[in-house]
Amino acid sequence: MKELKEGDKAPAIKAKNQKGETVELKDYLGKKVILYFYPKDNTPGCTTEACNFRDNYQSLLQDGYEVLGVSIDSEQSHQKFISKYELPFNLLADEDKKIVEDYGVWVEKNMYGRKYMGTARTTFVINEKGIIEHIIRKVDNKNASRQIRDLVK
């Protein structure tokens, strides 16, 4: 799989959200989408990032954005994560790793000398026509929404 770049068409997505409903990226044509990939529900960095999107969600909506989070966790895990932190947006379950692979964010990681496969924290900003406008590969968890705002000004 070639690495996605800005200007590429965003790969199609079809996945279940936390309620077991099928969500497709094409459902959001005509809207701007913040598609953020994160490693795991209920971990410190992922919680910080999700809560930053939660705290700025209304202003993101006002700016015409919809927020979608993706991890390889299950629908049930997403339900608990959303409930615990009152997240107002959909989290997509990618248990078969199709989406993380299609977006090139399923990568080899290295922690304490141990190599393993995992999700690279990455945010894609997709325009109303389904084209990737921005890719943030070095996400600042505490300021994730401001990072996006700074890019699109």
Active site residues: 46
User: In terms of DSSP bridges, do strands 32-37 and 122-126 run parallel, antiparallel, or are they unpaired?
Assistant: antiparallel
Q: Which two tokens stand for residue 35?
A: 């598609």
Helix (H) or strand (E) holding 105: none
Contact between 148 and 57 (Cβ < 8 Å): no
Give the span between the Cα atoms of 105 and 1, in whole angstroms: 11
Tokens of 19: 């309620």
User: What backbone torsions phi and psi does residue 108 show, to the nearest 5 degrees?
Assistant: -75, 130
The CA-based dihedral angle spanning residues 127, 73, 111, 13, taken in that order and rounded to the nearest 10 degrees? -30
